Amino acid sequence: MFRISPTSDIVLLLAFAAAVLLGPIIMQPFGAAYPDLLQRFAIFGIFAIGFNILFGLTGYLSFGHAAFLGVGSYSTVWAFKLVSMNVVPGIIIAIILSGLFALVIGYVSLRRSGIYFSILTLAFAQMSYNLAYSVLTPITNGETGLRVLRTDPRYLDALFGGETGARLPPTNFFGIEMTGWPGFYFCGVVLIIMFGLSIVIFRSPFGMMLRAIKSNQDRMRYTGFNTRPYLLSAFVISGMYAGLAGSLMAVTDPLAGAERMQWTASGEVVLMTILGGAGTLLGPVLGSGIIKYFENIFSAINESVLSQFWAFLPETLQHVMVELSSLFVGEGWHLTLGLLFMIVVIFLPGGLMEGAMKLFRIKHSPKVTSIAKSGQRDVVGEGAIEPMEPPKPPAPGRSRQDAKPAE
């Protein structure tokens, strides 16, 4: 009677884990198989998965999640300065502090819903950004950004006799340096764990209650649920995901700047989630991967690459094509992304995952009579297609009743 079996979730998680760990091989043909970019995929994937727990499940659109990203980064860098260059304390502190920060912002913002909620979160995030930029300079080092210094105390490291040599010690996970491939694999494993946790949340009664709130919050109230603690929990959980993502940014590159909290960063995660498919498990990861890919690969394409690409054309035509296509790459990569986003929102409001499921459905349509039964509706988060029954001829004496409009 139910849509998704636990086994299929385990298969999904295993497939996801395999895809992440084989990332360096899979991304080879796309020219993206280097650790800096792959770990950015993973970090923004975590950010978007967390955002989706709030937006995808409850429908509350936060425009200020970058604030938690920033809190995560700053607190991790402070942990590197004061506690240890081992990343574990930094990550734990980041998750706790961003969770507390989300508790405060969520408590206030969730008094309103819809656009007012979005505006409140946006206001809080911009406030945090400006504070980090100016007033809180002693904590955030303002414009310059917070960085780890050789002379920082690092009390825990000092306690265990870690000598501070002439060189700044690298961030490490019990001795494994968090640069290059180890850095990517660390982020990748965290991404897999966080994806697994999001599956658990999606399938739990708690997750179902969040969906019910998105569907009809009034009915939830008249059914005896106090919806506020549910919403606040979802907000805090997604804030902690964002804090973890911010922390991992500092882990792989130990500095933190205020621009990480700017509204453009908050908007980016909204785009990622919608592009991939809000309310789906895989969508946010897919969306963040695509946006980061465009940002890094498309922006790096220059005229000489384009000339090579169009080299098979006659010279005049080649020039025209280079001129035309150069609008969409390099500095213009935003244009490509904007067009892609428009196409997805107009034709696939459920995001790329909806597109993927449509393809799947065309292939299998004769077998699937109802998406609700097929076990796939949940993955897409969209409606079932029921087979149309031929209309029955109205029974005599009943038709008048049917035709009568309800009062």
Partner 1 sequence: MDSPLLHIDNVHKHFAGLHALSDINLDIRPQETHAIIGPNGAGKSTLLNVCVGRLAPSQGKVLFAGTELTGRHPHEINQLGVARVFQTPELFEDLTVVENVMIPIFSRKDGAFSLSLASRFDKQGAIADKAMSILADVGLGDHVNHLTNALSRGDKRRLELAMCLVQDPKLLLLDEPTAGMARADTNATIDLLNEIKKTGVTIVIIEHDMHVVFSLADRISVLAGGRIIAQGPPEEIKGNPKVIEAYLGEEQV
Would you tell me which residues interact with partner 1 (CB under 8 A)?
1-4, 6, 200-201, 203-209, 211-212, 215-216, 218-227, 229-230, 233, 370, 372-373, 377, 383-384, 386, 398, 401-402, 405-407
Q: Measure the CA–CA gap between 38 and 384, rounded to whole angstroms.
A: 36
Helix pair angle (283-297, 352-364), 10° resolution: 120
Give residue for tokens 């917070």. Answer: 146
Residue 174 vs 222, nearer CB to partner 1: 222
Smallest gap from residue 45 Cβ to partner 1 (A): 21
Q: Which is nearer to partner 1, 168 or 193 (CB)?
A: 193
Report the residue number, 196 or 330, with the smaller CB distance to partner 1: 196
Nearer to partner 1, 5 or 302 (CB): 5
DSSP 268-323: HHHHHHHHH-TT-SSHHHHHHHHHHHHHHHGGG--HHHHHHHTTTS-HHHHHHHHH
Tell me the closest approach of the beta carbon of residue 287 to partner 1, in angstroms.
Answer: 21
Nearest-approach distance from CB 49 to partner 1, in angstroms = 15
At closest approach, how far in Å is the CB of 188 from partner 1? 24
Any residues with CB less than 8 A from the CB of 260 and at least 6 apart, and which?
A: 66, 69, 70, 73, 246, 249
Nearest-approach distance from CB 198 to partner 1, in angstroms: 11
Q: What is the nearest approach in angstroms of partner 1 to the Cβ of residue 223?
A: 5
The nearer residue to partner 1, 144 or 204, going by C-beta atoms, is: 204
Coarse DSSP helix, strand, coil percentages of the chain, rounded to the nearest 5 percent: 70, 0, 25
CB of 46 to partner 1, least distance (A): 18
Q: List, in order, residues 6 or more apart from 48 with CB less than 8 Å away.
A: 269, 272, 273, 276, 284, 285, 287, 288
Cβ pair 71, 124 in contact under 8 A: no
By beta-carbon proximity to partner 1, the closer residue of 71 and 199 is 199
Closer by beta carbon to partner 1, 226 or else 264: 226
Q: Which residues of 234-260 are buried (b: 16+ CB within 10 A; e: fewer)?
A: bbbbbbbbbbbbbbbbbbbbbebbbeb
Under 8 Å between Cβ of 377 and 368: no
